[in-house]
Amino acid sequence: MKDKDVEDLRLWFCMFLCWKRIRRAKVMENTQDYQDYRAEILGIVRSNASPGIMRNKLEDYHENDLADVFPDLSVAERRKLCRILNLDMLADIFEYIDEKQAAEYLDDMDVRKAAAILSRMETDAVVNVLRMIPKEKRALLLELMDDDARKDMAVIAAFDDEEIGSRMTTNYIEIRENLTVKQAMTELVSQAAKNDNISTIFMVTEDHTFYGAMDLKDLITARQDTRLEDLIVTSYPYVYGHELIDDCIEKLKDYSENSIPILNNDNKLLGVITSQSIVDLVDDEMGEDYAMFAGLTAEEDLKEPLKESMKKRLPWLLVLLALGTVVSSVVGVFEQVVSQLTIIMCFQSLILDMAGNVGTQSLAVTIRVLMDESLTGKQKVELVFKEMKIALSNGALLGIISFLILGLYIALFKGKTWAFAYAVSGCIGLSLMVAMVISGAVGTLIPLFFKKINVDPAVASGPLITTINDLVAVITYYGLCGILLIGVLHLAG
């Protein structure tokens, strides 16, 4: 192997990396805020400058900033912008646009140009966009796209939305493991023109079985006598395409790699999932969990139609209405207790609210623990008892405070005797403590149960837990009042 050949390849790659850094610096040199970027870009698009001047100015901005102005442009202005910019830049811009909006914008342009843009986009992004396009036009776009892009999309589209393979990309560098350093550099240069995810190079065997990976830096700096085998990390992390996203997302988060390979069941390399896709997955997961906590069936956005927002909220509200009816019915069971001690109605909301708050706190802690760890049976029991001990300690403290303050309030402001006042406040304090302990257990046990039956624990949303704890609190409060105040102390009034 000639040193000059290797050095030429290294020089080419160093120049390539320097160009990327210079372009990034040029993009970032303007430190004005986000709103100023929008105003500047809109000003350029709406100016009367020549296409060449306009393109040169727009190339100074990041693709994400250009994507942000698309909703502010008219159809004519978007068509003007799409005529000015080259296909590669348009493809980069469309990857930052929401899939639904991207589908609308592509529908406004010539179908051949739309197909050319899709052919240059990341394959996972293309699959998401095509799902938003009507079936007839989708078939036409697929027919007009180049063969390689169509083949890559077919691989990704074969996976279900819940599987990690649906989020992979075929934009990566793949090299045989038995090449020399010079041959590897040559192969890298030939693939880099089409695939720009070059920081990590993936190695495969002759039959395309995944073998390992290496850093670009290690290959560029390798000396003539270095064995390529010495540069390969054979213990590199990987996941299988048919693994569920929820099952492998924690494993992906544990690694700080730029991209992780996706394999089929025969250990053949299919694609990679990038760190940005992992961030998006975590963000989606957190968004879904937040929606569930809020009592929604899915996330909403600001521009969502009324009908769609109602569809996301109504199912949970119907469930909560049914549970609320049960709670109200239970209150009716204790009608005799309420009729003899009407004053206890004044403090019902106190018991219900505190029980709901404790249950929601325990739920949040349990969901967080389940997201980060795989618990053993012993650890699950310890978690339940820990939450109950915390609820007992807080409940005892708040119960004592309620006993002292509410007794004083009933005696001074309700005109009751001190004995009556503190008998009622004592029952309230005891009910508060018992309801909080039970609510802590419920808020922990429900998500653990859902996890056990392979249902997302986030389904145990805040409103659901709160409503269940309302039921617990009502039974506890009125039950204790009936037993202690009427049954034991024979109080009424």
The pLDDT score that the predictor gives to residue 179 is 86
More confidently predicted of 291 and 178:
178
348-372 and 418-452 helices cross at what angle (nearest 10)? 30
Per residue in 169-196, is it b (16+ CB within 10 Å) or e — as a string? bbbbbbbebeeebbebbbbbeebbeeee
More confidently predicted of 332 and 12:
332
Taking alpha carbons only, the member of 328, 359, 360 closest to residue 474 is 328
The pLDDT score that the predictor gives to residue 436 is 94
The pLDDT score that the predictor gives to residue 453 is 80
For 101, how many CA atoms within 13 A lie in the half-sphere containing its CB?
Answer: 17
Beta bridge pairs of residue 210: 204
Nearest-angstrom CA–CA distance, 382 and 379:
5
The pLDDT score that the predictor gives to residue 421 is 93
Assess whether pLDDT exceeds 60 at residue 166. Answer: yes
The pLDDT score that the predictor gives to residue 202 is 94
pLDDT tier, 493 (very low <50, low <70, confident <90, very high otherwise): low
Token pair 């990396």: residue? 17
Sheet arrangement for strand 239-240: 239-240, 259-263, 269-274
The burial class, CB within 10 Å (0-12 / 13-18 / 19+), for 25 is exposed
DSSP 202: E
Residue 114: other Cβ atoms inside 10 A: 26
Nearest-angstrom CA–CA distance, 92 and 95:
5
The pLDDT score that the predictor gives to residue 269 is 94
Residue 20 CB contacts under 8 Å (≥ 6 apart), including other chains: none
For 300-326, what is each residue's pLDDT tens digit? 455 567 777 677 677 777 877 887 888
Q: Quickly list H helices, 414-461.
A: 418-452
More confidently predicted of 346 and 131:
346
Assess whether pLDDT exceeds 90 at residue 169. Answer: no
**How does the average pLDDT of the chain come out, rounded?**
82
The pLDDT score that the predictor gives to residue 430 is 95
For 435-444, what is each residue's pLDDT tens digit? 999 999 999 9
More confidently predicted of 174 and 153:
174
Assess whether pLDDT exceeds 50 at residue 29. Answer: no
The burial class, CB within 10 Å (0-12 / 13-18 / 19+), for 251 is middle
Q: What is the mean pLDDT of residues 171-195?
A: 86
The torsion angles phi and psi of 170, rounded to 5 degrees, stand at -100, 15
| H/E run at residue 91 | helix 87-94
CB 124 within 8 A of CB 167: yes
The pLDDT score that the predictor gives to residue 418 is 93
For 239, 246, 277, 281, 308, the CA distances from 284, given in Å and listed in that order, are 19, 11, 10, 5, 19
CB 159 within 8 A of CB 130: no
For 97-145, what is each residue's pLDDT tens digit? 988 889 999 988 889 999 999 998 888 788 888 888 888 888 889 889 9
Nearest-angstrom CA–CA distance, 291 and 461:
8
Nearest-angstrom CA–CA distance, 476 and 26:
67
Token pair 């050949």: residue? 5
The torsion angles phi and psi of 217, rounded to 5 degrees, stand at -60, -40
Q: What is the mean pLDDT of residues 145-162?
A: 84
Nearest-angstrom CA–CA distance, 475 and 481:
10
Assess whether pLDDT exceeds 90 at residue 364. Answer: no
Taking alpha carbons only, the member of 191, 157, 159 closest to residue 172 is 191
The pLDDT score that the predictor gives to residue 30 is 44
Q: What is the mean pLDDT of residues 341-348?
A: 90
